[in-house]
Chain A
Amino acid sequence: MDSTFFWFFAVTSIAGAFGLVLSRSAIYSALSLIAVFMSIAGLYLLNNADFLAMAQVVIYAVGLTILMLFAIMFTGDKPLGYEGSNRSSKIIYCIIAAFFSALVIRTISDLNFSQVSGDFTAVQSTLMAKGSTAMLGNLLFGYYALPFELASILLLVAMIGAIVIAKKSFDTPSESGQPLDTQYRVDLASAPSQEVLDAMRKERMAESEARKESLKN
């Protein structure tokens, strides 16, 4: 029974990882990343890590992927995945990845962990009965209190850094008195006028209408 779940989650996570790497559109690879994270949460559940499975679903599979999807929508989803890179370098990359995983699998298959699997200690039976959340809370606010606080400082610094980096800094003057990023500014004088924009919008709407018509037929 346990092995059935393991193989199910293993197959879905590997398939999702292939989808992440190989799919043409970045949106599709973000969606397959959700599948990978969900099946990794399932693997956590198989290992008695219920709190972490939920955290994985909430933080990775929902929060992080939504962030990625927003960034994809911001930067556009033109398929620039493969057309520019040449074939030989791609083959070299495949060989590097295959060599890495072959190395790990070869090493692991020599080791024998079987003597430690299967017997249950006190800790593990409590985990199975009550779940890991209470024990994890005691550890985090007791023995690991200092790293926990440091992690919160790290999150604060990352938040401030993200805001500062992503903020538009149009009003920062340089030494010469000119704004630093004049070259990236939108020049309002050379921007298309309202009539031109309206004409473009009408053209686009007519195009989409035509497409709908052709789809109907």
Chain B
Amino acid sequence: MPDFITTIGLNHYIMLASLLFALGLLGVLTNRNVIRVLMSLELMMSAVSINLIAFNNFLHLSEGLAGHVLTIFILTVSAAEASVGLAIIIALYRAKSTADMNKFDLLKW
């Protein structure tokens, strides 16, 4: 088997993370349901944390676990973001009775 398949390096993780990030970007751009857009955003965020963990494991940072700590903070921020986002979606749904992105155009000119 070729070397690319049998030995897993840092490049593999970065490529996988960029693919997941691009798929999340595609979901954010194409979907019209607000909740699916929020889910795609979560996918993009955890794709970034794959990068942090992989760099931490392969590059031997001085105190060891800076990437892990940063990932924990990303986890915290994304939990806060998701709760506030869902609250905004629920308030919007009360006002407009729909979860369609294209209907939320009050600030559009």
Q: Which residues in A have some Cβ–Cβ distance to B below 8 Å?
A: 2-3, 6-7, 10, 13-14, 17-18, 20-21, 26, 29-30, 33, 36-37, 40, 43-44, 46-49, 51-52, 55-56, 59-60, 63-64, 67-68, 71-72, 74-76, 80-82, 84-85, 90, 93-94, 96-98, 100-101, 104-105, 108-109, 111, 113-114, 116-117, 121, 123-124, 127, 132, 135-136, 139-140, 143-144, 147, 151, 154-155, 157-159, 161-163, 165-166, 168, 181, 184
B39-63 CB mask vs A (1 if < 8 Å, else 0) is: 1101100100110011011111001
Contact A165 B88 (CB under 8 A): yes
CB distance from B91 to the nearest CB of A (A): 5
How far does the Cβ of A158 sit from chain B's closest Cβ, in whole Å? 3
> Is there an interface contact between A67 and B82, defined as CB atoms closer than 8 Å?
yes
In the bound complex, residues from chain A placing their C-beta under 8 Å from that of B68 are 49, 51-52, 132, 136
Say yes or no: B20 contacts A74, CB within 8 Å. no
Say how far A27's CB is from chain B's closest CB, in angstroms: 10
Leading 3 A-B pairs by shortest Cβ distance: A158-B80, A101-B22, A104-B18
Interface of B is mostly: helix
Closest chain B residue to A135, Cβ basis: B65
Report how far A36 CA is from B5 CA in the complex, Å: 21
**Which residues of B lie under 8 Å from residue A72 when comparing CB positions?**
35
Contact A26 B8 (CB under 8 A): no
Within 8 A of A (CB), among B1-55: 5-16, 18-27, 29-36, 38-40, 42-43, 46, 49-50, 53-54
Per the bound structure, the CA–CA distance linking A96 and B24 in Å amounts to: 12
Q: How far is the CB of B104 from chain A (nearest CB, A)?
A: 12
Chain B nearest CB from A2 CB (Å) reads 6
Q: A71-B86, A121-B60 are in contact. Are A36 and B43 (CB under 8 A)?
A: yes
Distance between B66 CB and nearest chain A CB, rounded to angstroms? 8
In Å, the complex CA distance between A154 and B75 comes to 12
